[in-house]
Every structure is written in C-alpha cells, then in structure tokens.
Structure 1
Amino acid sequence: MSGTRNDAMNVNMPPPLRRPVTEETPATASVRVTLSNPVLIRRQRLLSLLFNGLPLLGVCAALYIGLTRGFSWVDVSVFVLMYVLSFFGIEGAYHRFFAHRAFKTGTAGKLILAIMGATAAQGPVAFWVANHRRHHQYTDTELDTHSPWFDHRGALKGLRGLWHAHVGWSFGDQYVNVAAFASDMVRDKTVAFVTHYYLYWVLLGLALPAAICGALAGTWQGVLNGFVLAGLARIWCVQNGVYIVNSVCHRFGSRPFVTQEKSTNNAWLALPTLGASWHNNHHAFPASATTRVEWWQLDITGLIIRLLGKVGLVWDIRTTSQKLRDSKRP
C-alpha cells in the first residue's frame, strides 16, 4: 500500500495482498493455517448456531417483556454491569491480554480474565486467540479469518463481505489451526482449566444476573428479567459489538495511520465497544494496551487496564511512543 494520504484514506477498494495466499503459516511451511477436520467444522457450526441463535431469541423475549411489562432500574443496571464485564472479558482479556500480551498479571488475575471472556460465549481462549492472531497475520487477505473483503465480486459484494466478516465466517468450512497460532495458550495450565469448564462459565454468565435480579426484586419475574435481559440479550449485544469491529471497522471509517490493510476508526462505536472501534489505531500499534492516541478518543478498556495497574493487579502495561505514532502517519 502506498504511503500517500489518498491511499491511506481510501477504504472503497479492496486491499492488495501483502503475501502469497497459501494455507501455510509464515513461521513453519509444514503447518497449515486451517484444518479441514469435519468433526471440528461441524462442532464449530453447531456452537455458532447455538450461541448466536439463543441470544437472538433472548433479544426477542427482552423486547416483548420491555414492551408489555417493562424492566426495572435493577434489571437495566445489572445488564449494563454484565455487559461491561463480559465485553471487557473479550476486549481487555481475550484480545489485549491473551492475544497481544499488552500487559501482565498473576495466575489469579489470568484465571479471572479468562472466565470473564468465557461469559461472552465466543469460544475458549485458545480458539479465540488463534483466530485473532490469524486475522493479524493475514489481515484483509483471503486467509484472514473474518475480512469483509473476502469476496468483492458481483452486485452484492459489499453485503456478502460484511456478513462474512460479521458472523458468516463462523459457519464456514474451515477450522483455524489452534496449535499453529496459539500454542502458548494450549500449553497454559490456567487457560486449560478454564477451557475444560468453558460451558459452565457461559452458564454462570446467564445464572448470575438471573440470581441478582431475582434476589433484589424478590420475585420469579425478576429472575426471568435478569436471565433474558442481562443474560441472553447481553450476550447478543456483546457478540455484535465485537462482530461490528470485524466488519464495519474494516470497511467504513477514517484511517489516520498507514497500515498494510483496511482497518478504520469509528468514533460512534467507541462507547459500546469500550474503545475497540479505534481499530486503525489498534492495527497500527497492536501490542499497545490502549487504542487511544488522541486525548479525546474514548477507550474504556484502556482506562480499566490503567486503573487495574494503579492498584497493582496488572503491570508492565505496554503503550506507544509519540515518535512511533508520528512515523505511521501519512
């Protein structure tokens, strides 16, 4: 990609391939990027259908309850709390900690972060990390896990690409080679423990808000409200907050930094994505614990990480220098 301003800001053309499109990792020519194991593929499709379909039903139920009976301030407050906890579990834990090693923590901290991420029902740590590292290695090429540019031919090219990047990829016919991209996660005993009980953590993320809302309301309706709104509907909202970064933030938005793919920033998504929508910033500086490079850019995830650092729960928080930032501007 050219380093000129026009090229850096152009998100209407598919990106050039940065490397030959093969099914091999650059590190080891004999290791495949994806696996064609039919058992793994069927399991991925089934789990994707389950963990996308049930939360969608939860959204429908939440709309019905909201229109007919209404939700209390307790229900809404627990929804917001669970949303922030589980979204941070993905963006702060799965993404910035496990995938990019942007900060460090102890064994107990790692355990809590992994469990928080599991409550979002986006898969175990190693699976998520492998897909994300594959995304960075092959961003916006045919080997990318979820690029909106995977098929830019025909009348519906934009919609097909956005659907694929958003969630369609999870119903595909390939399964990421976890051992190739996340061998460190596979070997990690804490990660292995959380993975072994993964479905229980997902259920905990549903049971906990139901119990809290039920206890505070003192009614079975409170239990139902918590389960539907702060449980199922919350999972759907978190999932689509993550998905929209993969789709919209590689197709529309601004590009203040020159990168080798088509990542973009979208200010209007900064609040619901806890800062993940400063996606061009992230691709320019993937190892940074914050996506904020301007004083006005809201990055709630980065703020939480800094606060955890202040109280000593995390440390060695990685950031970028002004010199490095300036070197990547067009």
Structure 2
Amino acid sequence: MTTTPEVTSASERTASPAAGQAGPSATLGGDSKRSIEQITLLLFITVPFAALVAAVPLAWGWGVSWLDLGLMTAMYYIGCHGITIGFHRYFTHGSFKAKRPLRIVLAVMGSLAVEGPLVRWVADHRKHHRFSDAEGDPHSPWRYGETVPALLKGLWWAHIGWMFDEEQTSQHTYAPDLIKDPVIRRISRQFVLWTLVSLLVPPLVGGLVTMSWWGAFTAFFWGSLVRVALLHHVTWSINSICHAVGKRPFKSRDRSGNVWWLAVLSCGESWHNLHHADPTAARHGVLRGQVDSSARLIRWCERLGWAYDVRWPGAERIAARRRSPATDAA
C-alpha cells in the first residue's frame, strides 16, 4: 500500500483534485459537513451517551444479561480494532501491508465503529499529524491557549466540538491513495449501511437467542447504544486527554502523552507519545508492561501471512527516540 506523505506543502493543502481523479461525490460527505450531517452527528453523540448514563441504574438488578455483555464486548472490540489496526495504523500510516481480503475486512471493521466514513477519517488524521498541536490541527486541546479556562475549552473542542465545525480537510490532498481504490471508496461511501449493520446485529442476535422482543431490546441497548457511546468517548479521549496529560518518554514535536488507564479500552492507542514520536510504528506500547492488543493482532496476521512488511520498532529505533530521564514529563 502507498500512503500519502504526512508532511505536505502549503500549496498542496489547497490543491484541487487532479484531472481524472474522482470528484468530491466519490466519497461520502465530501470536504464539508452539511446541516443534516451535523444534526445526525448530534443524535449519534447524544442518544448513545444517554444510554451510557442510563446503563448504571439499568444494570442494578435488571436489564442486563451475560448475552448482552457478551455482545457489547464483542462488538466493541471488533469496532475498536477496526479503528486502531485498520483506519489508523494501516490506512492512515501504512504501518504494514495487507493482502486484499484483510484490507477489505479492516475497512469494514473500522466502519462498524460508527466514527465516520473511512476516507474522511483518514484525511482528518493525516492532517492532525501534519499540524499536531499547532495551528491547522483539527482537534488540538491547546487550540485556545494554556490557561486553565483555555485548556478546559480546548479539551471540549478536541473531544467533541471539532466534529461540528465545517470540515476543512481536503480528502484529495490527504487521502488520494484511498480515493483511487474503487473498493475502499465504495466501503467509505457505504458508511450509512455499515452503521445500520453495526446497530442491528446485536438486537438480531439477542432476539434470536432469547426468542423474545425484550431480549432484542436489551441487546440493542447494551450491544448497540452503550457500546457505541463507550467506544466513541474512548476514541475521542485519544484526541483530548492524550494530548493534554500523560508521560512523555519519547521525543515528539507536540504534547502527546501516554495514558496507561486507557490502554486496554483503546486497544493500545493511548500509548500516544511513542506514536507521535514514530507514527509509522506498528506497535505503540513498546515499553515493559504496556499492553497493546492491536500490535498483538497485527503480529498474528503477520504469522498467518495476511500482513507483511510490518514496521516493528526495534530496540535501536526506540532508543533513538527516547528522551533523557531528566526531561521526561508527567
């Protein structure tokens, strides 16, 4: 796979699609968000979040079963690894190469996380790395300054607010490799379809297993709504929390930090400092005790022959990016 360089010139950032390229209609949503998209986004944030808030009282004595929890966990980690391995490490950064079936599976798995069309997600993230924590970064928590009020405002912006801003990222500039692939372009355009699949699989399974509408309802509540809300906020926390706090043992040009308590839920993404110090590395948790389930699954895919040319960070590569102990920040 050929990835777009993460550093682009000012002229490239404003470039129009080259002749012969697919136009804006080739990807779902294009380069700007319409009002209907913003309203839909608001619903997809508020409704699952309301379900997440209601989950605690509902779980207190009724309303949840092992089947519900199993569906929630399975769907959560399918979508989470689809984002971390697929959308992020593979499609955005080219941390490894994948055979065609795995490429398609990763595109679909990431789409099931309900975090937006693949091409738009990748374009946004490549732009984030180009301008990380500087002017032009779509979601830096340092956007408004370094005072406490400014940082609180910035954390809100980095976590949720930026998604309601009119999208400025050019998909043709930051993700031309994906637009040129007709299968990947089609999967990206089918985001609504994959969203419906993601939301309807849990109640379908729950209803069939229990042979009841109540079983379908509780499976939808836990396996669809609560799961989507939890995954969204964990993913958004990488943008907000992991760029505001955390240890920084590696040299990076931004404020990315390692936040250990998000590691399991984020499938290894919260070892964010190493990622920004070495963006193409297939493993983010490189130090002792740093759990990184995404790297483990990539290793398994490599052993099965599905993934190859994996960019594993070796000891010398890691050492070259280490700060001296005296400069480590907490």
Q: 1:244/1:163 Cα in 2 relative to 1: closer, same or farther (>3 Å)?
A: same
Identify which of 141, 150, 154 aligns with 1:161. Answer: 154
Match of 1:150 among 143, 146, 158: 143
Which whole-Å CA distance do the structure 2 matches of 1:243 and 1:33 have between them?
Answer: 29
Q: Which residue of 1 aligns with 2:9?
A: 27
Rounded to whole Å, the distance in 2 between the matches of 1:166 and 1:96 is: 21
Instruction: Look up the SS of the partner of 1:95 in the other structure.
Output: helix
Quote the offset at 1:172 in angstroms.
1.5
The 5 Å alignment of 1:298-313 reads: 298-313=291-306
**2:121 is aligned with 1:121:** no
In the superposition, relative to structure 1, how do residues 279 and 153 fare at CA in structure 2: closer, same or farther (>3 Å)? closer
Task: Measure, in 2, the Cα distance between the counterparts of 1:38 and 1:258.
Answer: 33
TM-score (norm 1): 0.86
Contact 1:44 1:171 in 2 (8 A): no
Secondary structure in structure 1 of the residue aligned to 2:33: helix
- Residue among 218, 221, 238 paired with 1:225: 218
Partner of 2:186: 193
Task: Give the superposed CA RMSD.
Answer: 2.2
Give the aligned partner of residue 108 of structure 1.
Answer: 101
Take 1:55 and 1:237, find their aligned partners in 2: how far apart are those partners? 8
Relative to the length of structure 2, the TM-score reads 0.86
Q: 1:93 aligns with which of 65, 86, 89?
A: 86
Matched position secondary structure for 2:241: helix
Counterpart CA distance in 1 for 2:231 and 2:319 is 33
Which residue is 1:49 aligned to?
A: 42
Cα gap change, 1:105 to 1:210, in 2 (>3 Å): same
Q: Would you say how many aligned residue pairs link Structure 1 and Structure 2?
A: 305
Any gaps of 5 or more consecutive residues in structure 2? 1-6, 17-23, 25-29, 324-330
Query: Among 183, 193, 200, which residue is 1:207 paired with?
Result: 200
- How many angstroms apart in 1 are the aligned matches of 2:228 and 2:93? 24
Among candidates 167, 175, 196, match of residue 168 of structure 2: 175
CA distance in 2, matches of 1:296, 1:153: 32
Q: Which runs of 5+ in 1 are unaligned?
A: 1-24
Partner of 2:253: 260
Provide the C-alpha distance between the structure 2 equivalents of 1:39 and 1:113, rounded to a whole number of angstroms: 25
Deviation above 6 Å: which 4+ runs of structure 1? none
Distance 2:75 2:65 in 1: 16
Asked if structure 2 preserves the Cα contact closer than 8 Å seen for 1:107 and 1:190, the reply is: no
1:33–1:176 CA contact under 8 A, matched in 2? no
Secondary structure of the structure 2 residue equivalent to 1:133: helix
Amino acid across the alignment from 1:311 = L
Aligned position for 2:315: 322
Cα deviation for residue 30 of structure 1 reads 5.5
Determine the C-alpha separation between the residues in 1 that align with 2:158 and 2:60. 32
Change (3 A) 1:119 1:38: closer
The answer as to whether partners of 2:32 and 2:167 remain within 8 angstroms in 1 is: no
Partner Cα separation in structure 1 for residue 130 and residue 214 of structure 2? 48
